[in-house]
Amino acid sequence: MLAIPDLAAIARASAERIVYCLVEGTLVAAFAGCLVPVLRGRNAGTRFAVWFSALVAIALLPLLGGVWGWGAGPAESGALAGRSAITLPSSWALYLFGAWAAVAALVASARREHR
């Protein structure tokens, strides 16, 4: 018999990862933004490499969940085990997850129409 997935738990976990990745991605982009002016005398290829590396790092953030011991990731240990640095009420998590799913569906359907 198939078990029905707990949508609230999935939404809560997804919403926490969205918030963590937003914070971490902002830090990565800020670091790249501070690094580019230092490389002002370099060619465009160097600046491209910095921004592309930042983009790849941001894209990999969800796969590296819990690297700093935040959330429910593999690096969770010690005093942080079982606790999240950021907690969201279940209703907010459902709304955030629903908004993400709606935007993803809209983008996917828009891309399908352009083909």
- Residue pLDDT tens, the chain, 115 long: 566 677 777 777 777 777 778 888 899 999 999 998 888 777 888 889 999 999 999 888 877 765 555 544 444 444 444 556 667 677 777 888 888 889 889 988 887 776 6
The structure tokens listed for 63 are 């796969």
The pLDDT value given to residue 31? 93
- Look at residue 106 and tell me if it is in a domain: yes
The pLDDT value given to residue 6? 75
| Residue 99 CB neighbours (<10 A) | 12
- Look at residue 2 and tell me if it is in a domain: no
The structure tokens listed for 35 are 């690094």
Give φ, ψ of 86 to 5 degrees. -125, 125
- Look at residue 23 and tell me if it is in a domain: yes
The pLDDT value given to residue 86? 65
- Look at residue 74 and tell me if it is in a domain: yes
User: What is the value of pTM for the model shown?
Assistant: 0.54
Angstrom CA distances, 99 to 41, 95, 105, 112, stand at 42, 6, 10, 20
- Look at residue 76 and tell me if it is in a domain: yes
Full domain range(s) for residue 63: 7-113
- Look at residue 44 and tell me if it is in a domain: yes
- Look at residue 34 and tell me if it is in a domain: yes
State whether the Cα torsion 11-95-15-91 is positive or negative: negative
- Amino acid (1-letter code) at residue 5: P
Q: Give CA–CA dist 1/8, Å, rounded.
A: 21
Angstrom CA distances, 56 to 9, 42, 115, stand at 28, 21, 26
**How many domains are contained in the chain?**
1
The pLDDT value given to residue 72? 46
Helix (H) or strand (E) holding 39, with range, is none
